[in-house]
């Protein structure tokens, strides 16, 4: 009897959670493949007509291939800023972990500040304009790097703490120190945490909406999130195309999730348990 | 052993240790040069620290990006005097408290559920976590559809049980709460995985001790899981409070602060003032947000951190 009750409770919890968390995705997928007339209903009726390919090509071609260009921009920004974050944060995390002292304390303080303090937007625009990088991809990349560094430094520092110093000393006896010690000996050992940083930072940058909105305004060189935001007002009668856009934009994080779920979870929960 | 003790006698003791220390620190300088901070430090200084510092000056000016006139505390006075700006403080605080409170409660419940011996546990964990990785704009648009008055799925479902649902995002009293609930839907997965990690790190001995004393599931939860997952609670509160105080994208895609100004947070007001060309006022909003975050987060971190030490 108790087993039955237990099983019943489990089943209810399971169904409830699945419904609450899956229904919005079901709506996205169903609406994305319907025709325009049926899509207006925004319901869960089975598509009368499967327009996967047509909706896909229509969304891609819309407004002179704006989505395609946005995709290219998003990929450039993501790849460039994540690559820079990995190298810069790994180096900083290494020195920070190995060499305590006044400067280390200051660096620790700055890392924590970076995690907490909301960035001052208009002064950042003013500064980017001053160095000629406002409304450029390079400017946005620098912004993503600056805001992404603190968390990456934390992850690298925590991982490097587990690498024995004896290794550094052995390398130093062989005449390796500084940059050579780091790139020849330490960096290859950081592979697991590097993958974690790449994944968490990529998802964050690719999904970022606020920074492109402020620092890369205009339609010409928008990123996918801003394009999606603009589609919302332009396609308010063509829900099928709007949701096809959403599906297309959700595919990269979905792939990351399918292949690297554990790594991402490890990265996001790192350090949160030991405080 | 004897040799070491003999050391100071034969050699000039203090001098030798000092030289040794100097040697070690020189080696450390060479091995871990501060120059390796440089690339990260330059980007961080230029893009983050300088604008943050300059904000305190520009907040006191009427500003067009090209030239600025000093106006003292006028911007701050406007912010605190005008109802449609002041509402941002209440809303931001409300949003942060509701989202982090619900994430703690639901995250803990889901964490307990998903660490129990449940079939399909792995599947459920994935389902709960996936929204964390989906773009906020996509989530905002989808939920705007689901919450549409009458035609939206939520109101249709309520109609089935005979309740006429409100206009969630269009009503002044429900708009902010609705957005906050969607935020919880999207973010509870992160809280859940943090709790799962926390619960799995509790040694099994404690649970065995409760079992020996004949404790029930409630005892296990109340006297073992709840107190010993405190570090996870701490992290979830801090993370979601910071996120809640800064939140912009979900509010902007779902209500744009509307209807009227009823769901405006400080972050959305900063954007509105920026769009309207009031750069000084917008920056004053940034400074106020900075102060609000500091005033709340510093004592909160301290209080929660102290609790962590004592338990």
Residue of B nearest to A150 (CA): B44
What integer is the mean pLDDT of B126-154? 88
Residue A26 in any domain: the answer is no
- Is the pLDDT confidence value at B305 over 60? yes
**CA-closest candidate to residue A41, choices B261, B22, B151:** B151
Mean pLDDT of chain A: 86
Q: Which of A22, A41, A124 sits opposite B127 (nearest CB)?
A: A22
Percent of chain B with pLDDT over 90: 38
How many angstroms from the chain centroid is the CA of residue B306? 19
Mean pLDDT of B233-251: 91
Q: pLDDT band for A273, please (50, 70, 90 cuts).
A: low
pLDDT at A202: 93
Say what the pLDDT of residue B166 is: 80
Q: Is B148 an 8 Å CB contact of chain A?
A: yes
Per the CB < 8 Å rule, is A27 touching B31? no
Mean pLDDT of A26-50: 82
Task: Give which of A275, A257, A137, A266 is closest to A197, Cα–Cα.
Answer: A266
Contacts (Cβ under 8 Å, ≥6 apart) of A41? B151
pLDDT of residue B252: 93
Restricting to A residues 122-181, those with a Cβ less than 8 Å away from any Cβ of B are: 122-129, 131, 142-143, 145-147, 149, 153, 168, 172, 177-179, 181
What residues have CB less than 8 Å from A161, skipping those under 6 apart? A97
Q: How far is A248 from chain B (nearest CA, A)?
A: 10
Give the residues across from A76 on adjacent strands. none
Whether pLDDT at B10 is above 50: no
Report yes or no on A56 lying in a domain.
Answer: yes
| Nearest CA-CA partner of A96 in A145, A170, A158, A30 | A158
Token readout for A202 is 């990529």
**A125-129, B108-112, B163-167 — which is least confidently predicted?**
B163-167
- List the beta strands (DSSP E) in B156-199: none
Pairing of strands B61-63, B68-70: antiparallel
Which residue has tokens 């190298």? A87
Look at B135 and A269 and tell me if their CB atoms are within 8 Å.
no
User: What's the pLDDT at A275?
Assistant: 39
On whether residue A185 sits in a domain, the answer given is yes
Contact at 8 Å (CB) between A201 and A85?
yes
CB A257 within 8 A of CB B130: yes
Domain B76-310: homologous superfamily in CATH: MetI-like (1.10.3720.10)
User: Tokens 């982090």 correspond to what residue?
Assistant: B100
Kindly report the nearest CA distance between residue A95 and chain B, in angstroms.
Answer: 6
Per-residue pLDDT tens digits for A214-253: 999 877 778 999 988 988 877 777 888 888 989 999 999 8
Helix (H, G, I), strand (E, B) or coil at B63: strand
For residue A21, list chain B residues with Cβ-Cβ distance below 8 A: 127-128, 130-131, 185
DSSP A138: H
Taking an 8 Å cut-off on Cβ atoms, the answer to whether A264 and B133 are in contact is: yes
B218 touches chain A (CB under 8 A): no
Domain count, chain A: 1
Instruction: Express each pLDDT in A70-124 by its tens digit.
Output: 999 999 999 999 999 999 999 999 999 988 888 889 998 999 889 889 999 999 9
The per-residue DSSP string of B136-161 comes to HHHHHHHHHHHT-TTTSHHHHHHHHT
Ranges of beta strands (E only) in A202-250 are none
Which helix (DSSP H) or strand (DSSP E) does residue B223 occupy? Answer: none
Gap between the Cα atoms of A85 and A153, Å rounded: 9
Q: Is the peptide bond before A150 cis (omega within 30 degrees of 0)?
A: no
pLDDT (tens digit, 9 = 90+) per residue, B157-208? 888 887 777 888 888 788 999 999 999 999 999 999 999 999 988 888 888 8
Q: Does A122 contact B58 at a Cβ distance shorter than 8 Å?
A: yes
Q: Examine residue A41 and state whether it is found in any structural domain, yes or no.
A: no
Where would I find the beta strands (DSSP E) of B61-142? 61-63, 68-70
Which contacts (CB < 8 Å, 24+ apart) does range A270-274 have? Answer: A270/A154, A270/A155, A270/A158, A270/A196, A271/A154, A271/A155, A271/A158, A272/B194, A272/B197, A272/B198, A272/B231, A272/B232, A272/B235, A272/B236, A272/B239, A273/B194, A273/B197, A273/B198, A273/B201, A273/B231, A273/B232, A273/B235, A274/B231
Q: Is residue A43 a part of any domain in this protein?
A: no
Q: Give me the domain span that covers residue A107.
A: 50-269
Q: Are A260 and A41 in contact (CB under 8 A)?
A: no
pLDDT given for residue B21 in this prediction = 55
For residue A13, being part of any structural domain is answered with no
Q: Say if residue B18's pLDDT is above 70.
A: no
List the CATH number of the domain containing A83: 1.10.3720.10
Residues B250 and B264: their CA atoms lie apart, in Å, by 11
CA B125 – CA B191 distance, rounded (Å): 12
Residue A144 maps to a domain: yes
Contact check, Cβ <8 Å, A209/B136: yes
Structural contact between residues A256 and B184, judged by C-beta atoms closer than 8 angstroms: no
């Amino acid at each position: 009897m108790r087993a039955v009750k237990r099983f019943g409770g489990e089943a209810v919890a399971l169904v409830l959670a699945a419904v609450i968390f899956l229904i919005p995705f079901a709506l996205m997928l169903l609406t994305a493949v319907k025709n325009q007339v049926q899509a207006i209903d925004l319901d869960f009726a089975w598509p009368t007509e499967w327009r996967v390919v047509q909706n896909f090509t229509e969304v891609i071609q819309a407004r002179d291939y704006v989505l395609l260009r946005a995709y290219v921009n998003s990929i450039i920004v993501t790849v460039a800023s994540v690559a820079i974050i990995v190298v810069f944060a790994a180096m900083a995390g290494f020195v920070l972990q190995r060499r305590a002292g006044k400067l280390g304390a200051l660096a620790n303080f700055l890392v924590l500040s970076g995690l907490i303090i909301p960035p001052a937007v208009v002064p950042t625009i003013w500064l980017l304009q001053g160095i000629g990088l406002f409304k450029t991809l390079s400017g946005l990349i620098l912004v993503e790097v600056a805001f992404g560094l603190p968390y990456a430094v934390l992850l690298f520092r925590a991982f490097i703490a587990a690498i024995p110093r004896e290794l550094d000393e052995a390398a130093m006896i062989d005449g390796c120190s500084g940059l050579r010690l780091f790139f020849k000996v330490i960096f290859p050992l950081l592979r697991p945490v590097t993958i974690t940083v790449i994944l968490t930072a990529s998802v964050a940058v690719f999904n970022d909406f606020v920074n492109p909105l402020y620092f890369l305004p205009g339609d010409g060189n928008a990123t996918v999130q801003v394009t999606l935001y603009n589609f919302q007002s332009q396609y308010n009668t063509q829900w099928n195309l709007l949701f096809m856009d959403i599906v297309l934009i959700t595919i990269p994080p979905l792939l990351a999730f399918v292949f690297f779920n554990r790594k991402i979870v490890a990265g996001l929960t790192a350090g949160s348990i030991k405080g | 052993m004897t040799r070491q003790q003999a050391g100071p006698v034969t050699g000039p003791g203090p001098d030798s240790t000092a030289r040794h220390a100097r040697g070690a620190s020189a080696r450390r300088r060479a091995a871990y040069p501060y120059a390796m901070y440089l690339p990260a430090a330059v980007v961080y200084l230029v893009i983050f620290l300088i604008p943050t510092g300059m904000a305190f000056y520009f907040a006191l000016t009427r500003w067009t990006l090209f030239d600025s006139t000093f106006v003292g505390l006028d911007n701050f006075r406007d912010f605190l005097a005008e109802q449609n700006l002041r509402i941002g403080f209440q809303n931001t605080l409300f949003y942060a408290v509701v989202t982090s409170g619900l994430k703690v409660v639901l995250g803990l419940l889901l964490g307990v559920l998903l660490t129990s011996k449940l079939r399909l546990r792995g599947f459920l964990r994935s389902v709960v976590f996936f929204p964390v990785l989906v773009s906020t704009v996509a989530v905002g648009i989808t939920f705007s559809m689901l919450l549409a008055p009458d035609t939206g799925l939520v109101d249709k479902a309520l109609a089935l049980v005979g309740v006429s649902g409100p206009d969630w995002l269009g009503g002044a009293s429900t708009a902010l709460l609705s957005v906050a609930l969607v935020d919880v839907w999207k973010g509870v997965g992160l809280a859940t995985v943090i709790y799962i990690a926390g619960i799995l790190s509790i040694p099994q001995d404690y649970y065995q001790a409760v079992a020996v004393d004949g404790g029930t599931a409630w005892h296990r939860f109340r006297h073992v899981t709840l107190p010993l997952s405190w570090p996870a609670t701490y992290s979830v509160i801090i993370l979601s409070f910071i996120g809640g105080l800064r939140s912009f994208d979900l509010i902007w895609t779902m209500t744009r602060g509307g209807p009227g100004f009823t769901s405006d947070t400080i972050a959305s007001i900063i954007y509105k003032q920026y769009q309207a060309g009031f750069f000084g006022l917008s920056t004053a909003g940034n400074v106020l947000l900075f102060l609000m975050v500091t005033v709340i987060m510093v004592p909160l971190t301290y209080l929660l951190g102290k609790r962590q030490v004592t338990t």
